[in-house]
Chains A and B, each alone.
Chain A
């Protein structure tokens, strides 16, 4: 499976999907006008992803702004990870970063934890 890197733009995040290193990340701002169009290649990548049994993968979400339709796409992605975990026996450590005073991003992480069986570790990211 090939590594996938999506460069950031002013309204879309940087995405790194590196199966060899067992590391995935989504970083930056996410407010594309059509989040379905933006996230479909990412969801498709995970559809084709063939993880190693019992391997532990790390997924880091470090987003400082997420528009409403991106929230749905990220929720879809987490449900997909949960399904992969169930079907293949691999595991994901999902970290959900938020600034200490960013209640909105923290609450999105809490909502995702409540609505999926993919637990998120909420972590405070320190900014200057």
Chain B
């Protein structure tokens, strides 16, 4: 490992960690928000199952409407798998973070990962395009994508973002933070309804 790559790796991981700490601190100081779960580190395959099962267990225990629990679970799965499938890998590791918090009758799920700077304009355009669609258009886009029916070698199907947008009914915010000549942090926050049964 060269000194240069070690430097890039450390800087990128530190940037994600700083981003995560700032986000968690903001939630903790907000009296109307309750932090449910959070994780920052290198994402591995088992993290999807581990983090979503914690979320599902928590929501079941609080007796929220089953439909809302399922939507939250589904959105969390897609968001975490997005990190694993599309997050930049540094020395074969995928740094990222995941935070869930409730606020009144809504649940927010926030994820962040690294992406190459070259991907930023493409992703901005894609999100902006999808967000501009009405529900019926979004559904049509989903059907068109499904009909094409292809899965990448990594396992991505191109339906993840469409699924996330449809679950949260367009309540999604994204943020891009440039951290170096090579990488930016891509953060996505979705807000979903959460009501007691």
Contacts and interface: CB of A to CB of B under 8 A. Distances in A.
Interface string B38-78: 00000001001100010000000000001100110110011
B179 interface: no
B111 interface: no
Contact of B146 (A33, A34, A115): A115
Specify the main secondary structure of chain A where it touches its partner.
helix
Contacts, number: 74
Contact of A69 (B67, B159, B162): B159
A44 to B, nearest CB: 15
Interface residues of B, number: 31
A10 B49 contact: yes
Contacts of A46: none
Interface in B51-110: 53, 66-67, 70-71, 73-74, 77-78, 81, 84-85
Contacts of B163: 68
Contacts of B156: 69
A36 interface: yes
A65 B157 contact: no
A115 B147 CA distance: 7
6 contacts: A33-B84, A35-B151, A36-B152, A65-B77, A67-B81, A69-B160
Please name the 10 residue pairs, one residue from A and one from B, whose CB atoms are nearest each other, closest first. A34-B155, A68-B159, A69-B157, A72-B157, A36-B151, A68-B163, A68-B160, A11-B49, A31-B77, A33-B45
